[in-house]
């Protein structure tokens, strides 16, 4: 009995003393003493393009917050796009692309992987511009020509989404060794369509998107859409797209998330909209089953959306029905709802 108690005592002492008893210093709390170090300096004769902040912290505009009168805002409603189809092919203005509701940093490694699995390895992969170019390949259905593809992966219009476009080029077999520039449009619209369909099917079949490229946080360039808050002017949505696509995207958003389009004039870039705050009871079971008196009410416009082309971008502003400027907090709240539902 005494021997058993002695062994239990020794075991307890060793457990409490840890590795120090063996002469090994306990380093579990060393991280508390860590000091900030200077960023790595790359010699001038070497290329530093691949280096950068792994987790960059974006600048926060001071105009978004009024320190003296700030009140905690209500949570923004979830974007209606969040619950839509994960992968789909969209087209407008003769262009088509694959839209997927995950970030470019997650799409990038998956695209490279599925191209390799399908026997179309990459000859060039440039994360900063979001460009992937394949090697020349031959198809069994066309032995007389060689083919290659150029993919552009960029942030989508939707929040946390990615757009993938494809450009097809073909030359006579044996002519691929020459220096050939990429065409402005695909040589074969059918080949482009088939390739995008294959990518969309592969992405839709994937069960998870765990792989992330840390070196591609800003892949494909800046966001296509952002809310701008000038110091002395009304806030607006800046859209880095053509007017045709910006108009289609704003129209899509202005009919969702509490917004309804009452009237519009594309020539003037003007939409009359109604915004009604949504509540949890608006789409309840009994409301949908028996109907609601508000369904038969004639909505009246209470806001205007003004769109105009400025240089290579489109600016969308939200004003009152009479064209008057809105309160800053109200304007930002509504613009963010409108931006969140864009597609």
Look at residue 190 and tell me if it is in a domain.
yes
- Mean pLDDT, range 318-343, rounded to an integer: 89
pLDDT digits over 231-246, tens only? 778 899 999 989 999 9
For residues 5 and 187, the model is more confident at 187
CA distances from 280 to 80, 93, 113 (A): 14, 38, 43
Residues whose CB is less than 8 angstroms from the CB of residue 119 and which lie 6 or more positions away in sequence, other chains included: 137
Specify the range with the lowest mean pLDDT, choosing from 82-91, 145-154, 211-220, 234-243. 211-220
User: Which among 162, 190, 216 is the end of a domain?
Assistant: 216
Cβ atoms 73, 329 nearer than 8 A? yes
Residues of 150-185 as b/e, b for ≥16 C-beta within 10 angstroms?
bbbbbbbbbbebbbbbbbbbbbeeeebeeeeeeeee
- DSSP labels for 167-203? EEEEEETT-TTS--PPPSS-S-HHHHHHHHHHHHHHH
Query: What are the structure tokens assigned to 46, written together?
Result: 């070497």
Q: What is the pLDDT of residues 92-105, one digit of tens each?
A: 878 899 998 888 88
In the block, tokens 């129209």 appear at 251
Contact predicate 195/167, CB 8 Å: no
Contact 57, 317 (CB under 8 A): no
CATH number of 161's domain:
3.30.530.50
Kindly state whether residues 120 and 201 are assigned to the same domain: yes
Instruction: Determine the structural domain holding residue 285 and report its residue range.
Output: 225-340
CB 245 within 8 Å of CB 129: no
| Residue 207 structure tokens | 């069960």
State whether 211 and 251 are in the same domain.
no
| pLDDT-above-70 percentage for the chain | 72
* Number of Cα atoms under 13 Å in the Cβ half of residue 18: 6
Task: Please give the tally of structural domains in the chain.
Answer: 2
DSSP 3-state of 340: helix
Asked whether residue 197 falls in the same domain as residue 241, the answer is: no
CATH code of the domain in which 284 resides: 3.30.310.170
Under 8 Å CB-to-CB from 9, ≥6 apart: which residues?
none
Q: Kindly state whether residues 242 and 316 are assigned to the same domain.
A: yes
Per-residue pLDDT reduced to its tens digit, 17-75 = 555 545 567 777 887 888 888 877 878 777 766 656 666 677 765 555 555 555 665 66
Same domain, yes or no, for 278 and 314? yes
pLDDT at 128 over 70: yes
Predicted local confidence at residue 87, as pLDDT:
87
CA 59/CA 61 separation, integer angstroms: 6
Q: What is the DSSP string of 79-137?
A: PGGGGS-SEEEEEETTEEEEEESS-HHHHHHHHHHHHHHTT--EEEEETTTTEEEEPPE
For residue 295, pLDDT beyond 60: no
Q: Tell me, what's the pLDDT at 285?
A: 44
């Amino acid at each position: 009995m005494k021997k058993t108690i002695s062994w239990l005592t020794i075991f307890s002492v060793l457990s409490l003393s840890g590795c120090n008893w063996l002469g090994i210093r306990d380093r579990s709390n060393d991280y508390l003493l860590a000091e900030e170090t200077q960023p790595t300096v790359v010699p001038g004769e070497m290329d530093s393009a691949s280096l950068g902040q792994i987790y960059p912290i974006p600048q926060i505009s001071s105009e978004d917050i009024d320190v003296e009168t700030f009140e905690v805002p209500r949570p923004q409603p979830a974007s209606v796009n969040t619950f839509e189809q994960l992968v789909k092919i969209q087209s407008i203005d003769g262009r088509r692309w694959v839209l997927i509701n995950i970030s470019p940093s997650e799409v990038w490694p998956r695209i490279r992987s599925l191209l390799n699995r399908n026997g179309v390895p990459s000859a060039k992969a440039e994360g900063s511009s979001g460009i992937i170019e394949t090697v020349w390949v031959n198809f069994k259905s066309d032995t007389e020509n060689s083919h290659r593809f150029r993919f552009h992966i960029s942030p989508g219009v939707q929040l946390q989404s990615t757009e993938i476009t494809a450009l097809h080029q073909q030359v006579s077999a044996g002519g691929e060794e020459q220096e050939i520039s990429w065409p402005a449009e695909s040589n074969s619209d059918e080949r482009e369509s088939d390739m995008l369909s294959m990518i969309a099917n592969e992405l839709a079949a994937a069960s998870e998107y765990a792989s992330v490229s840390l070196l591609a946080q800003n892949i494909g360039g800046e966001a296509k859409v952002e809310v701008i808050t000038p110091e002395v002017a009304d806030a607006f949505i800046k859209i880095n797209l053509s007017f045709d696509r910006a108009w289609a995207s704003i129209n899509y958003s202005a009919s969702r998330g509490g917004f309804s389009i009452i009237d519009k004039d594309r020539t003037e870039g003007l939409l009359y909209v109604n915004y009604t705050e949504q509540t949890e009871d608006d789409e309840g079971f009994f409301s949908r089953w028996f109907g609601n008196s508000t369904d038969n009410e004639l909505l009246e416009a209470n806001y205007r959306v003004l769109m105009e082309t400025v240089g290579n971008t489109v600016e969308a502003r939200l004003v009152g029905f009479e064209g008057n400027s809105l309160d800053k907090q109200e304007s930002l709240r509504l613009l963010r709802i409108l931006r969140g539902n864009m597609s």
